[in-house]
Amino acid sequence: MVLCNLYFHLPQKGISSHQLARDIGVTQKTAWFMLSRIRHSLRSEKAKSFNGDTQVDETYIGGKNHKKSWQKRVENTQGRSTKTKAVVFGLLSNGKVSTEIVPNTKGKTLTTIIKNMVKRGSIVISDGWKGYSEVHKHYEHKSIPHTRGQYVKDNSHTNSIEGFWSLLKRGILGIYHSVSPKHLQLYCDEFSFRYNTKDFDEGNRFNFAFILCI
């Protein structure tokens, strides 16, 4: 209970296992394990369905060559390469977000997730990535071609999901510094939970998280 109280009375970006170890007087390995258990608990509270205007987008995490020694650098990892980067797909509607690690950004992969999570009759808003080319067959689809310098179309945009990606990446870079692909989904779930409870006061957020953790 003390751990949950400390963890969820923090700013949006979380706390590192090193800092937590110092705060509660345990080893870093123990602190990391405790935080990992909390993240596992938060998975049950992921948003499972969306309706209305739903923004969808994908982002890439990891694989920064300039942070590696010359011997460990991998060629041709720019842009959408998945050689050294993990792909995270996100959906956001009505102030709630859900993320999922995906193997690629092909149309079949993205459209299947959208069909499973977005109710029929909803409006799906995306950028102009070709992986969304089949979405119009199932939903009203508003595609905004960012590559042409357009970011708003008929008052529709993907600014909210892109803002969430900024929070996620700043948190990983600034607090956790690096996250292995094996555990990335748990960190995404953590930041999704924080985003989805952003309107809670500290007491309600703690109570909600505590119920999930027991």
Q: Per the structure block, which two tokens stand in for 29?
A: 């390995």
Where in the chain is CATH 3.30.420?
Answer: 53-173
Element (H, E) at 29: helix 28-42
Rounded CA-CA distance 172/14 in Å is 9
User: Encoding tokens for residue 62?
Assistant: 């990891």
Q: Quick one: pLDDT at residue 135?
A: 97
**Token pair of 198, please?**
């952003």
- Which residues are bridge partners to 102 per DSSP? 87
Determine the Cα–Cα distance for residues 54 and 68; give it in Å rounded to an integer: 37
Q: End-to-end CA distance of the chain: give it in Å, rounded.
A: 9
Please tell me the least confidently modeled range out of 89-103, 142-156, 195-209. 195-209
Could you tell me if 212 and 45 are in contact, meaning their C-beta atoms sit under 8 angstroms apart? yes
Res 70: pLDDT: 46
Predicted model pTM: 0.83
Written as one string, the DSSP assignment of 127-153 is: ES-GGGTTGGGTSEEEEE-GGGT---B
Give which of 16, 40, 38, 26 is closest to 178, Cα–Cα: 16
Three-state SS string over 86-108 comes to EEEEEEEECCEEEEEEECCCCHH
**Token reading at 63:** 């694989």
pLDDT at res. 140 = 96
Report pLDDT for 7: 55
Top CATH class, 53-173 = alpha beta
pLDDT in tens, 35-93: 888 888 887 667 789 999 999 999 999 766 555 554 455 555 555 656 568 999 999 99
Is residue 3 within 8 Å of residue 34, measured between CB atoms?
yes
Write the pLDDT tens digit of every residue in 162-173.
999 999 998 888
